[in-house]
Amino acid sequence: MTNELVDLAIFSGRTYPAFAEAICAHLGKKQGEADIFEFANENIFVRYQENIRSRDVFLVQPLVRPVSTSIVELLIMIDAARRASAGRITAVIPYYAYGRSDKKDQPRVPISGRLLANLIETAGADRVITMNLHAGQIQGFFNIPLDELNGLYPMSAYFASRDMTGYTVVATDVGGEKLSRDMASRLDLPLAIVEKRRLGNTDNVQALNVIGDVDGRNALLIDDEILTAGTMVEAVGILREKGAREIVLAGYHAILGGPAVQRLRDASVHEIVFTDTVPIPADKRLPNMKIIPTAPVFGDAIQRIHTGQSVGALFQ
Ligand code: R5P
């Protein structure tokens, strides 16, 4: 541990302790100890087991299953740190929930992504670190500094180490065009886009067409999050219809709810590559699944924030 990290304290919520451990291992830093549990009435209790007065405190919690508990627990952790006189509190949120609720796109609906940002601020967070928000504009929901890290770097490094000859990078929908274009440009590959439509407010989607040429090519299909995997399998279907050969799936946040794992298994694609921003239990891991670690990127960002260096420089 370098001297400059002495006042740094990293704590984990209960949602994904292995991720905080990996960050600490990367920094050569011992994880802070906290007592976190639920009373019989499901009220959550948090107590830090060490002094955090004036310290630079980082609280790690992706907002995943059980989502509501993860959120409330993070808010209570922030409150406890504020009342313990932490010097600065950073919420480290590898996956930000409610990102898809980022606009009022029909009458009488909430903007839950904004509400969540307000809650995190009100609880007392001074800043946020996250990775690949569903839409970049969500950054603006916060009035505190937010560093949005990019899983593109570890993900593209993995693909750059393989032979990607004959591949086209394919976005699963028009909204994912930028994410896929960035990958295509890093790997020096052409880009295509699947035209998708969502059927009402359900998780059901339909792939309508492919913009770009995939006939006789391999496809690296990219999406920011995989929930039911409906988007991915619809895209796989239309890519095969249009003559694509080998297909590799890449996803940044592997939520894998409902039928996702079965759908991915049945899709019989060459490889599935996810980052580890969300815990992926053993029973959801398929033999052709590769998990790319992102904790080192978070660790480097934490170190830079703590020592007042540029986080952007990490990605240049
Ligand atoms: C939608 O806009 C997102 O980019 C993803 O395509 C979507 O969240 C994936 O969900 P699912 O796996 O349920 O199709």
Query: Please, what are the averages of pLDDT over each run of 10 residues along the chain (316 residues)?
Result: 69 98 97 98 98 97 98 98 97 98 95 98 98 96 98 97 97 93 98 89 83 97 96 95 97 97 97 98 97 98 97 89
33 CA → ligand 1 middle, Å: 36
Q: How far apart are CA 188 and CA 31, in angstroms?
A: 40
DSSP class of 164: -
**Cα atoms in the 13 Å half-sphere on the side-chain side of 315:** 18
Q: Is the peptide bond before 66 cis (omega within 30 degrees of 0)?
A: yes
Whether ligand 1 lies within 6 angstroms of the CB of 234 is answered as: no
Largest CA distance in the chain: 61
Q: Which of 170, 178, 224 to mutate to test the pocket of ligand 1 (most atoms within 8 A of CB)?
A: 224
Determine if ligand 1 sits within 6 Å of the CB of residue 132: no
Size of the chain in residues: 316
How far is CA 37 from its chain centroid?
25
Collapsing DSSP states into helix, strand and coil, what is residue 236?
A: helix
Q: Which atom of ligand 1 is nearest to the CA of 176?
A: 4
Decide: 231 in ligand 1 pocket, CB within 6 A.
yes
Angle between helices 260-267 and 230-241 (to 10 degrees): 20
Residues with active-site annotation:
196
What pTM did the predictor assign?
0.95
In this predicted structure, what is the pLDDT of residue 200? 78
CA of 251 to the centre of ligand 1 (A): 10
Answer yes or no: is the C-beta of 224 below 6 A from any ligand 1 atom: yes
What is the structure's pLDDT at 6? Answer: 66
How far apart are the CA of 131 and the centre of ligand 1, in A? 16
Contacts of 99 (CB under 8 A, 6+ apart): 113, 133, 134, 135, 138, 225
pLDDT, position 1: 41
Joined together, the tokens standing for residue 308 give: 């007042």
Any atom of ligand 1 within 6 Å of the Cβ of 251: no
CB 206 within 8 A of CB 196: yes
CA 225 / ligand 1 centre spacing (Å): 6
Q: Are 99 and 113 in contact (CB under 8 A)?
A: yes
